[in-house]
Structure 1
Amino acid sequence: MFEVESLQHLLRTGSYLALLGIVFAETGLLVGFFLPGDSLLLVAGIMSAVEGGLNIWGVMACCVLAAIVGDTVGYLIGRRFGPAIFNRPESRFFKPEHVQRSYVFFQKHGGKTIILARFVPFVRTFAPTIAGVSGMHYPTFLAYNVIGAVLWGAGVPLVGYLIGNTIPATTVDKYILLMVAVVVGLSLLPVLLEAWKLRKKAA
């Protein structure tokens, strides 16, 4: 879990390039599942409201663009290398249970997974690659990819921006950690529900 202060420092120093790089890595590279997608977007939105360094339109544009390109790269990795990329042994950066969780999510929701996965940690990283492995028609994937990227990449920063404009700038630092925790908790809720359903079914 990344600390809010670290995210704020990253955005102050790396600005839009940091957003582009992290969102792309989290959505396009299999090793990017540990990156702070939801919390980073929320903090970027809040900072664009209370500080002068970031513009909300620039934040949303960067996040949407990086999310579209990232998912496309993930899809191409799946199409090019197929199931073999998921057969590697467990390591510090590769957890088979994350792949299995994403696969179950994909089997349940089909193409809509590409949209829904944007809001689910871990699944967000592996879903486009699984779509590529499964041979999903690319124009269909691209449509879901763009819709999901806009809803997530623009929606989460916009929520942060609205929060930042609602809470006085002098007190926003007191609440930012709580807001990030709420967003991350909500994003983890689908994963917890799915795990509960699987455990109940197994029992």
Structure 2
Amino acid sequence: MDSIIEFFQKLQHLEDLIRWGGYTALALIVFAETGLLIGFFLPGDSLLVTAGLLASRGYLNVWILFGLLSVMAIAGDAVGYWFGRVTGPKIFTKEKSILFARDHLIHAQHVYEKYGNRIIILARFMPIVRTFAPIVAGVGQMPYARFLSYNIIGGVAWIASMLGAGYLLGNVVPDVDKYLHWIIIAIIVASLLPAIVEFIRYRLQRKRELVEQVIINTEREK
């Protein structure tokens, strides 16, 4: 129990978390964010960039990180897919709770309907959506062979780009530690922006549809 409490405390300080948990903590977080419904709050992008920075200083091996975390990202999405496939559409009727963010699942379904199968790749770079996209793909009965190919491409690209960005910054920017806090904030904002824009567009579209439906109903009653 003490280790669990310490883990959540260290989530606020990513460098300390990585030093404390090493490869194990990184692997578990990447898997949980993509494979478990409750993992949507975990700091995937910023954690990976921070890991890349630490690897640039020799604290971690960047190639071990790349291989291990790619496998965990792919495995996490696979678990999400099969969870969605087994539970089926009934998951959309499940009531919202602390452990289940129904709104996020519905939003992921909307994004999936808009972008199709390629969302499995695109969602990797969209926090929150990446947790629920494989579940929606499973519910939609996407053929597993097709899902797996998108899953591998997306997982490897996500890990490589985030780790690579951190590793490059660590080798190019002098005293990058001084700016780590601001770098993490910038990553969080940049990664959340597409999801926020998409969510706003979705809400506006829903409002337009409701207004149109009200107008149609009013015309019918005349």
TM-score, normalization by structure 1 = 0.92
One-letter identity of the residue aligned with 1:12: R
SS of the residue corresponding to residue 55 of structure 2 reads helix
Contact 1:2 1:36 in 2 (8 A): no
1:87 deviates by: 2.3
Contact 1:29 1:74 in 2 (8 A): yes
1:118 deviates by: 0.3
Matched, 1:16 2:23: yes
One-letter identity of the residue aligned with 2:53: I
Equivalent residue for 2:123, pick from 114, 117, 125: 117
Matched, 1:142 2:151: no
From the CA coordinates, give the structure whose radius of gyration is larger: 2
Task: Tell me: CA distance 1:91–1:156, structure 2 relative to 1, closer, same or farther (3 Å).
Answer: same
1:58 deviates by: 1.3
Equivalent residue for 1:181, pick from 180, 185, 194: 185
Structure 2, gaps ≥5 residues long: 1-7, 209-222
User: Pairwise mapping of residues 1-203 of structure 1 onto structure 2 (< 5 A)?
Assistant: 6-50=13-57, 52-168=58-174, 171-201=175-205, 202-203=207-208
One-letter identity of the residue aligned with 1:19: L
Q: Distance in 2 between matches of 1:88 and 1:3?
A: 32
Contact 2:123 2:129 in 1 (8 A): yes
Deviates more, 1:64-73 or 1:83-92: 83-92
Instruction: Quote the RMSD (CA, aligned, Å).
Output: 1.8
Question: How many aligned residue pairs are there?
Answer: 200
Structure 1, gaps ≥5 residues long: none
1:2 deviates by: 8.3
- Deviating beyond 4 angstroms after TM superposition, the runs of 4 or more aligned structure 1 residues are 1-5
Deviates more, 1:86-95 or 1:133-142: 86-95
Q: Distance in 1 between matches of 2:33 and 2:110?
A: 20
Q: Distance in 1 between matches of 2:22 and 2:108?
A: 31
The corresponding residue for 2:216 is: none
Q: Distance in 2 between matches of 1:175 and 1:162?
A: 14
CA deviation profile, 1:59-116 (whole Å, cap 9, x unmatched): 1112211000000011011111112233221112222211111111100011100000
1:193 deviates by: 1.4
Task: Tell me: CA distance 1:4–1:49, structure 2 relative to 1, closer, same or farther (3 Å).
Answer: farther
Contact 1:98 1:122 in 2 (8 A): yes
Task: Tell me: CA distance 1:93–1:105, structure 2 relative to 1, closer, same or farther (3 Å).
Answer: same
CA deviation profile, 1:131-166 (whole Å, cap 9, x unmatched): 001000001000000000011011101110000111
Q: Distance in 1 between matches of 2:143 and 2:44?
A: 27
Higher relative contact order (CA 8 A, sep 6+): 1
